[in-house]
Amino acid sequence: MGKIIWLASYPKSGNTWVRVFLANLFSGVDQPIDINTLDKFFGNLTSRPSYDIAAGGTTFNMAEQEVLRLRGEVQRAFCAMVPESAFLKTHSRFGDQFGLPLIEPECTVGAIYIVRNPLDVVVSAASHFDVGVDAMARHMADPNFRTAASEKHVTDYIGSWSDAVASWTVPAHPKIHVVRYEDLYEAPEAEFYRIVSFLGLRPSSERFGNAVKYSQFSSLAEQERAEGFKERSPRAATFFRRGRPGEGREMLKAGLIDKIVSAHGAQMARFGYAKVGNF
């Protein structure tokens, strides 16, 4: 019986990028993996078929709280299926909902948490969800923010950006490896190497180098243009945008920047995105 290594982040913070790198590393083939095959390498905590199996039938019209009661069973079933540690993707905060744990500690062996400047998350997530940046900023400040259920996915409980980030990173834990999106962008080879080291992997230099190369943002965007990407929201033009840090400060109005910093200044300061009392 295995345990779960979580690939966790707030939406549009680099989770897919890390998954693509790891999938290329695991595949070991001398060409980029098809980005539409990521689900062959990683599970998703909100995938509805897993809940249907746990319930013994469809959960689509089931009450939200009843679906949530299956969440622990879904995680335990995942562990029972894998002989060793395996990855699950999530955008969930770490905590409780309706008195029920969202992440089962007994099923968990570790986590990689990717954090990104919320000013940039607002811009990217607004595009992904096809909402205005003001509306997205309000969602990111809402402690009850959650995804809508669909035929493919059950509701996920995300919370505010600050709550989600703090839930995974405070206090620091040796089994949770925190990655700043900005560091990954500036020095992908070094940051991916730290991820590999955290996981206890020892790939050859050639295999590691290929995985880094095949995970370049330009390569992912080109694949999406050529083949599409099934994880793209149907309301978004593209999934892989520019991904460049600093877009938020360039594109958002000063008043909205002030609101975001006011809502998230403490956590932003922890990761070097703002200085407390001097934004």
Which residue ranges make up each domain of the chain?
4-116+143-235
pLDDT over 90 percentage in the chain: 77
Q: Is the pLDDT of residue 233 over 70?
A: no
Which SS3 state, helix, strand or coil, does residue 4 take? strand
Q: Cβ–Cβ contacts within 10 Å for residue 215, how many?
A: 24
pLDDT at 43 over 80: yes
Q: Which pLDDT score is estimated for 279?
A: 44
Mean pLDDT, the chain, as a whole number? 91
- The SS3 assignment for 265 reads helix
pLDDT tens for each residue of 196-231 = 999 999 999 999 999 999 888 777 767 777 666 645
Cα 138 to Cα 129: distance, rounded to the nearest angstrom: 13
Determine the pLDDT at residue 166: 98
pLDDT digits 0-9 by tens, 80-101: 999 889 999 999 999 999 999 9
**Which class does domain 4-116+143-235 fall in?**
alpha beta
Q: Report pLDDT digits (tens) over 134-189.
A: 999 999 999 999 999 999 999 999 999 999 999 999 999 999 999 999 999 999 99
Least confident of 11-15, 37-41, 189-193, 229-233: 229-233
Structural contact between residues 258 and 119, judged by C-beta atoms closer than 8 angstroms: no
Residue 264 pLDDT > 80: yes
Q: pTM for this one? A: 0.91
32 and 114 Cβ atoms separated by less than 8 Å: no
Which residues neighbour 277 within 8 Å (Cβ) at sequence distance 6 or greater? none
Structure tokens at 227: 């083949």
